[in-house]
Structure 1
Amino acid sequence: MREAVATTCPYCGVGCGVLARADATGTVSVEGDPAHASNFGRLCVKGAALGETTDLRGRLLHPQVREPDGTYRRVGWDEALDRVADGFRRTIDQHGPDAVAFYVSGQLLTEDYYVVNKLAKGYLGTANIDTNSRLCMSSAVAAHKRAFGEDLVPVCYEDLAQAELVVLVGSNTAWCHPVVFQRITRAKEAGAKLVVIDPRFTATCESADLHLPIKPGTDVWLFNGLLSFLFQHGVMDAGFVDAHTDGLNAALAVASAEAGDPAVVACICGVQLADLLAFYRLFARHERVVSLFSQGVNQSTSGTDKANSLINCHLLSGRIGKPGAGPFSITGQPNAMGGREVGGLANMLAAHMDLHDPVHRQIVQAFWSSPRIAAEPGLKAVALFDAVLEGRVKALWIMGTNPVVSLPDADRVRQALLACDLVVCSDIVECTDTSAHAHVRLPALGWGEKSGTVTSSERRISRQRPFLPAPGEARADWRIVCDVAKRLGFAEAFDYAGPHAIFVEHARLTAFRNHETANDGLPAAWRQLHLGGLAALDEPAYDALAPVQWPVRDDGSGTARLFEDGRYAHADGRARFVAACGRPPVHAPDREYPLVLNTGRVRDQWHTMTRTGKSPRLAGHLGEPFVDMHPHDALRSGVREGELARVVSNWGAMVARVRHGGGILTGNVFVPIHWNAQFASDARVGALVNPVVDPVSGQPEFKHTPVRVEPFPVRWYGFAFARRMLPVAGLSYWTLIRGEQFWRYEIAQREQPKDGGAWARTWLDAAGADAEWLEYEDADTGIYRAALLRDARLEACVFLSARPDLPSRRWLARLFGQAQLGDADRACLLAGEAPDADGDPGPVVCACFGVGRNTICAAIREKSLDTPAGVTAVLRAGGNCGSCIPELQRLIADAHAESEA
């Protein structure tokens, strides 16, 4: 095994440090980096399973171009790059620079982001470059700029340890940011209180001292009510407000008018008045309050106002710019913040400067010595794809993202790509829902192969370092962009030797004319984003760069917390209260679409599963798309738990398994965002989501789409295991799940085959002299089971039934690890059950250690375990990332309730 390489996890914005090792065969092992201040060696299960995701199965390894018949032809880099450059040049010559566009990703490194923004805004002259960060953090960005004058996150992770009260708003932190949640858990153990504000009762709520299940979209009323309550009760830092803020009277006038009476607020938000007042009093009584907010706030047509209404409460009470206090936007992607630093959004310039400001444009153009600079903000994500469909954008380059799955009204996005003259996709995956429509596919480097930096939620810059060789002909994104820029005639400006040169240029730009006045009389603009202390790094120092939080001082040291001096980034140095008005969502439920759809993540998957879908460990917890709904709504909709249902909106439809998770209010449903055409037959929830956006930030409304749920009738349900991938054409429903030595399929069919045995033999390819076929059929109950063996080794099996309550899958998975099956195993296969209770560990609860629910429940009963720590001591479950601890708590409570019954 080679020496460990210190790098950074490619998942959420926590920015955990990772030590990665690759042996001579390419097998990768990872562990947390104990020296990294973001995580001190801790990793969530997704980070711990990174080694399972670095294989080359499904990788795009060579440039490809699409032929007229729709097939793809492998080409050399020169032909592919010439085609991209020629297409962009021809489009600009005929239609102007705004006829081309880029849609990029928070998966890019800062250096990649920097060069593509430089090319678009400074050389092509268009601001039509946006990012999938628009979908997750742009409302927070807009709120920060309105309140602070710049996109600034004032707090750091260490503030969680010093907080007396932690407020989580619209964030299932236990699942989405488990390492941050471990910090919150330790703060609670030290005496801090935890309030969770979320319409759903999530895993995070299990640990809360108070859960406020507010109606979706009512956050502004909640926090306007808090602002009014704090003012009425004298919880105001008058000295701070007078010296460092403006706009209080206007914000208070709005808050008092619409939310001055807590009883009215409780009614609007749909919570108990006593619970509402309990939250307000907790906030009022504790000086050190950290309020973390995420997608539940941002992904809304009023997301910017929601964030500002929360920030207002911190400004009024002076709970900002001091240890243990402040509003904290926690980001969803590994480099959402790094992309924002270099102008990754369509309305921004590099180094936190603004496109609408002529002084800022002059500064950036002067630094770049560019022939032009984009003069107007570009098209934001949803509007960008509308422009593609309408023919106003004719050439589009998509980098590292999958908008046919992830954007709202996703079927319209697919139509836009079909209508576009030139679609270029840079990606690591050959076949995605998006790349299926590309004219040119460009193979990019993936995690473990590329070199550069990312910035975490707390402004901490960390290195991503390569520990694997570049596969095939894959290239770094920055290099691909530079190669096209050179073909467009901009060779001198894009002649970088490597990512070090790009990073240093980025650092120099953050310091360029970053002061109130310029000695040479040229324009200047003061920004808190300042990497001047890194602007002179040589290449060895860049390679060895330790994690550091910006602003970075001249001596290279970082800054943990902002605003401690009371200085904000508005021209007068003062923060702004923002008068935030509560607004109902644009589309309300009605008789046709009576339910409200909320979307989000599950614990062990990531985005559209192009990486996590490769990991058997991560498929164990929730392997199938589902619609979580209240039993009463299911009854009214005519669907039952475990059966399939169709979820329909005015924009699209999908099919998923009905689930009663126990945390859904009546009138609401929840569907995860992850599944795509590679892993499920019809589960892209983006196709349902309404495309309305926040008027300030342009962020789409992913948390409130009116839908209906209706039966998806099938004649039989089933599942299959096979050592090879099986054909899915003709199946009415299927989901693909990766196992250790097999592929698992959950399937259903509207029509029952006339001969189940013949159908199963054909599907599993049971022909051949060496094939041994075992089968059992009960025509009266509609049950059919069969297994294919070769040399007594299990090759495949299929279980079919007219009912969805099929046998457990976990014990069957174990049989694929055996070299041969004995008589007892064969009998169990046909009987459809494990040989004994110990043989079936049940559904995975702890993915880190592969511990199942049955195993945990048995240990709780037999050893009288009453705490998660007790379970960890016996089974290790919960002892790594901790994201399963809420589920362990529930299992313990259920077991004790059963024993007392």
Structure 2
Amino acid sequence: MAKLPVSADEIIKVFGPHKHYPEKGAVRVNIQNPDEIVKTHCCFCGLQCGIKLKKKNNKVVGFEPWKEFPFNEGRLCPKGVQRYMQDNHPDRLLSPYKRVEGKGFVPIEWDEAYDAVIKEIRRIQDTYGKNAFAMLSGVSLSNEKSYMVGKFARVALKTANLDYNGRLCMVSAGAGNKKSFGMDRSSNSWADLAHAEVIIVTGANVSECFPVLTYKIWEARDNGAKVIVIDPREIPLARTADLHLPLRPGTDSALTNTMLKVMIDNDWLDHDFIDNHTSGFEEAAEAVKECTLEWGEKVTGVPADLIYKAAEMWGKAKTSFLMHARGIEHHSKGVMNVCSCINLVLATGRIGKPYCGYGTITGQGNGQGGREHGHKCDQLPGNRDIENPEHRKFVADVWGIKEEDLPGKGLSAYEIIEAINRGEIKGLLSICFNPLVSLPNNNNVREALEKLEFYAGIDFFLSETLRHADIILAGSLQEEEEGTTTSAEGRVIRIHAVVDPPGKAKKDSEILMELARRLGEGDKFNYANSEETFNELRVASRGSAADYYGISYERIEKNLGVFWPCPSEDHPGTPRLWEDKKFNTPDKRAHFNPTPYRNPMEMPDEEYPVILTTGRVVSQYLSGSQTRRIGKLVDLYPEPLLELHPKMASQYGIQQNDLVKVSTRRGTGLFPANIVETIREDTVFLPYHWGGVNSANQLTNDALDPVSKIPEFKACACKLENTGRQKSKDSAELAILSRDIQY
């Protein structure tokens, strides 16, 4: 029998109505005389901007700029300015809850919650095997908690099936970086942007998703840099760029392959670097030999003269920086797209030098550190390979277990959902992951959640996914526990505990350690504090590709962050990689990778003639569980809008604010039209921060990259139907209340 989500009415009985905060008439705390002002970092996005949080009566009540922190120098985006509002929010989970049939969620004590979770873990694993219980984690967690989750799943749960929501974010970049450089990190501190002559930004809506980074690019432009933006939409950065290449979604590697072909034909290459410090150039050149300008224009939709101009600007520059984000990575060929970008960097030899580099813009708060220390299905701490016997032995020794007792490679995040639907996985524990909103084809995800025999989740707000839980464990916000995160640059920074978790909520690490103790492995999780956990992480990463051994809390505080790799306590850290031209590959050379082009898995056709792509907006973050609760951010963008070009709108008779039915082979949604000239005529765009009837991911394709297992969020085929109705003023709120998915 299917286990349906707790209904909206039942949730309101227990929790009260969902609130945007602050409400009119809300009691305001006097922030003029805070008890303390604490230096820490923003919880949103991989930039991890420095911020000072004001504390009053054990509550975060405001913020101040932290001008001394070197990356953002006090600058914050709209989300950063409002991030303090989630502390003491009326929707905070303040105790554990259990599902009671007919009553919804009922608050319980911690002992009852722990006992229920342990009982079900043991029952399911005794009945179906260890791997029948899975865990899904999130990279909003600190490095310490990411490390602990990886250890907890392998040592306490003893399951191979652990993965994380970075699977939806950085894994294509990570795999491409490893293939090319043997290391998964941006090559430089982004201070090097300032004097780059040419900057390529591809698949990254920097101005909305990473606004503070825009300043770094503007600084370079003020110094004379030329900026090339590659994106299907005329995003804000494109409006001031020297060159905008509005390619057809899913054709990224066709464009970069054509650029490489132009560079080869015109000999805009660094032959000394290619000959002495790389391998595989001939194979990469062979793969692009048919990628003529005419072919590139036909496939990408970008005029041939613009492709040539971009190749010329890049090829002739003396210094340059290439940056990308999810726009090229959210594809079933995301790794290939990443490698094709890296090929452009290697062909010019502009890496490992001042003002020359390559960077992957990390989307989630600890997307960099979270993918280094062990809650990926194929990874151990230090970005070690879980299938490498030497790596397994090293980590097993640190953890005090036998190598043969360490589980092997498990399933990735979406593969776990598929395994639940096949009946192979029966139980699930999640922490800070909202797959019902963030995974593609989420009707399939909902079906899986309803099939689980047991589901428990650790979180601080009741997400759409947690409405399917049997037990909810009230966890902590970033500012409620000490730790570290790693920024998109590779800078390890300190997160400070500003306040304690409210009510009966607990620190995430305390919950994990208590579950481990009750599973009989408490001696391996006996950490007195976060610093002890970090010190064990340092040892577990020693000698690895992501070596943190020389980084300590004291050094981070003293230097406002330390760049890894940092192999010893007297090592200064590494803001700029590969200055010695010795890459982290077995032959110490950077590797060109051939990137033969193929189309996305789903192309427009007669039945579904329009291309759908998805992304973010400036005021919302990921699945929206945090930002959709903050009133000023909701006011900026209260509901998902369907962006389409005036010519497409005219073709379908669509007016501004008309409700448009959007259908794919996986689902159907209804969205108000936003008619703009800043998008391709053959493409529509939806932001993905909402669930239920507002969900873009009920439409997206769950095809996976064969290497990274990342889904193809950025390109699928859809059809449009004008309903002839306009949205009402209350349509956003009605959409939230209209279905038992959100409340």
TM-score above 0.5: yes
Q: Aligned partner of 2:588: which letter?
A: G
Map of 1:480 onto structure 2 = 511
**In the aligned structure 1, how far is the partner of 2:546 from the partner of 2:202?**
26
What does residue range 236-255 of structure 1 map to in structure 2 within 5 Å?
236-255=269-288
Structure 1 pair 377–53 and aligned structure 2 pair: CA distance change class (3 A): same
Cα deviations by residue, 1:682-728 (Å, 9 ceiling, x for unpaired):
1011111111011111011111121112133549834499xxxx988
Contact 2:428–2:454 (Cα < 8 Å) also in 1: yes
Q: What SS does the corresponding residue of 2:703 show, helix, strand or coil?
A: coil
AA matched with 2:125: I
Pair 1:532-2:549 in alignment = yes
Asked if structure 1 preserves the Cα contact closer than 8 Å seen for 2:131 and 2:159, the reply is yes
Counterparts of 1:716 and 1:149 in 2: how far apart (Å)? 51
Compared CA separation, residues 720 and 489, structure 1 to 2 (3 A): closer
Partner residue, 2:386: 355
1:272 aligned partner, one-letter code? P
- Where does 1:151-300 land on structure 2 (aligned, <5 Å)? 151-256=184-289, 258-259=290-291, 261-300=292-331
663-672 vs 230-239, which moves further: 230-239
C-alpha distance in structure 1 between counterparts of 2:730 and 2:370, whole Å: 42
> How far apart are residue 137 of structure 1 and its match?
0.8
Distance 1:477 1:268, change over 3 A: same
The match for 1:385 among 405, 417, 433 is 417
Q: Could you list the runs of 5+ residues in structure 2 that have no partner in the other structure?
A: 1-33
1:140 maps to 2:170: no
Q: Which amino acid in 2 is paired with 1:132?
A: N
Could you say which structure has the larger radius of gyration? 1
**Match of 2:630?**
615
* Offset from partner CA, 1:544-578 (integer Å, 9 cap, x none): 78311111242263211111111111122222111
Distance in 2 separating the partners of 1:545 and 1:385: 43
Q: CA deviation at 1:631?
A: 2.2
Give 1:628's aligned residue. Answer: 643
How many residue pairs are counted as aligned between the two chains?
Answer: 708
**Aligned alpha-carbon RMSD (Å):** 2.2
Q: Is the 8 A contact 1:624 1:735 kept in 2?
A: no
Matching of residues 797-812 of structure 1 within 5 Å: none
CA contact (8 A) 2:441 2:667 kept: yes
CA gap of 1:443–1:175, structure 2 versus 1, over 3 A, is same
**For the Cα contact (< 8 Å) 1:728–1:734, is it kept in 2?**
no
Deviation digits for residues 724-764 of structure 1 (CA, Å, limit 9, x no counterpart): xx98898699999xxxxxxxxxxxxxxxxxxxxxxxxxxxx
Instruction: Report what 1:550 is aligned to.
Output: 564
Change (3 A) 1:269 1:477: same
Q: Structure 1 residue 575 and structure 2 residue 590: aligned?
A: yes
Between the aligned partners of 1:720 and 1:333, the Cα distance in structure 2 is 30
Give deviations 1:755-806, integer Å, cap 9, x for gaps: xxxxxxxxxxxxxxxxxxxxxxxxxxxxxxxxxxxxxxxxxxxxxxxxxxxx
- The letter of the residue matching 1:183 is K
How far apart are residue 123 of structure 1 and its match? 4.5
> Residues of 1 paired with 2:91 and 2:131: CA distance?
34
Shift of residue 266 of structure 1? 2.1
CA deviation profile, 1:182-240 (whole Å, cap 9, x unmatched): 11011101100000000111112111110000111111121122222222222222222
Does the C-alpha gap of structure 1 residues 311 and 25 become closer, same or farther in structure 2, counting only changes over 3 Å? Answer: closer
- Give the superposition deviation at 1:404: 0.5
Aligned to 1:309: 340
Matches within 5 A, 1:431-470: 432-470=463-501
* Structure 2: distance between partners of 1:497 and 1:25: 22
1:66 touches 1:73 (CA, 8 Å); kept in 2? yes
Classify 1:5/1:27 alpha carbon distance in 2 versus 1 (closer, same or farther; 3 Å).
closer
Kindly provide the amino acid, as one letter, of the partner of residue 409 in structure 1.
Answer: N
Distance 1:72 1:545, change over 3 A: farther
**Matches of 1:420 and 1:86, distance apart in 2:** 15
- Equivalent residue, structure 2, for 1:754: none
Q: Secondary structure at the match of 1:692?
A: strand
Amino acid at match of 2:332: T
- Counterpart code for 1:451: E
* Contact preservation (8 Å) 2:157, 2:519: no
Q: 1-side partners of 2:310 and 2:731: how far apart?
A: 49
Matches of 2:153 and 2:473 in 1, distance apart? Answer: 18
Shift of 1:59: 1.0
Aligned to 2:85: 52
Offset at 1:643? 1.5
- Asked if the contact 2:185/2:359 (under 8 Å) is kept, the reply is no
User: Does the CA-based 8 Å contact 1:462-1:545 persist in structure 2?
Assistant: no
Partner of 1:708: 719
Q: Percent identity?
A: 32
Q: Structure 1 counterpart of 2:539, which letter?
A: R
| Offset of residue 4 of structure 1 | 1.3
Q: Deviations over 1:341-385 (max 9, x none)?
A: 102221111111102212211211122122445453211111110
**After the TM superposition, which residues 12-91 of structure 1 pair with which residues of structure 2 at under 5 Å, given as runs?**
12-24=45-57, 26=59, 28-69=61-102, 71-91=104-124
SS of the aligned residue for 1:283 comes to: helix
1:653 is aligned to 2:668: yes
Q: TM-score, normalised by structure 1?
A: 0.76
Q: 1:493-892 residue pairs with structure 2 within 5 A?
A: 493-511=524-542, 514=543, 527-534=544-551, 546-552=560-566, 553-555=568-570, 557-677=572-692, 682-714=693-725, 717-719=728-730
Contact conserved, 1:18 with 1:33, CA < 8 A, in 2? yes
Whole-Å Cα distance in 2 between the matches of residues 603 and 125 of structure 1? Answer: 40
Name the SS of the counterpart of 1:281 in structure 2: helix
State how far apart, in whole Å, the 2-side matches of 1:109 and 1:482 are: 15
Task: Tell me if structure 2 keeps the 8 A contact 1:123–1:370.
Answer: no
Decide which of 141, 149, 153 is 2:182's aligned counterpart.
Answer: 149
Question: Cα–Cα, structure 1 residues 567 and 121, in superposed 2: closer, same or farther, change >3 Å?
Answer: farther
SS at match of 1:151: coil
Structure 1 unmatched runs, 5+? 515-526, 737-901
How far apart in 2 are the matches of 1:350 and 1:205? 38
* Residue-by-residue CA offset, 1:71-106 (whole Å, 9 max, x unaligned): 222111111112212222222222222111111111
Paired residues of 1:164 and 1:288 also in contact (CA < 8 A): yes
Equivalent residue for 2:449? 417
CA distance in 2, matches of 1:226, 1:209: 17
- Matched to 1:403, the amino acid is P
CA 1:380–1:727 in 2, change beyond 3 Å: closer, same or farther?
closer
Distance in 2 between residues matched to 1:33 and 1:68, nearest whole Å: 49
Larger RCO of the pair (alpha carbons < 8 Å, separation 6+):
2
Cα 1:610–1:464 change in 2 (3 A) is same
Structure 1 pair 592–263 and aligned structure 2 pair: CA distance change class (3 A)? closer
Distance 1:207 1:146 in 2: 34
Change (3 A) 1:497 1:313: same
1:285 Cα offset (Å): 1.2
Tell me if 1:4 matches 2:21.
no
Distance 2:223 2:726 in 1: 55
Is 1:351–1:510's contact at 8 Å kept on the other side of the alignment?
yes
Q: How far apart are the structure 2 equivalents of 1:307 and 1:299?
A: 11
Q: Aligned with 1:599: secondary structure? A: strand
Equivalent AA in structure 1 for residue 443 of structure 2: D
Per mean C-alpha deviation after superposition, the further-off stretch among 711-720 and 595-604 is 711-720
Which piece of structure 1 moves more, 88-97 or 483-492? 88-97
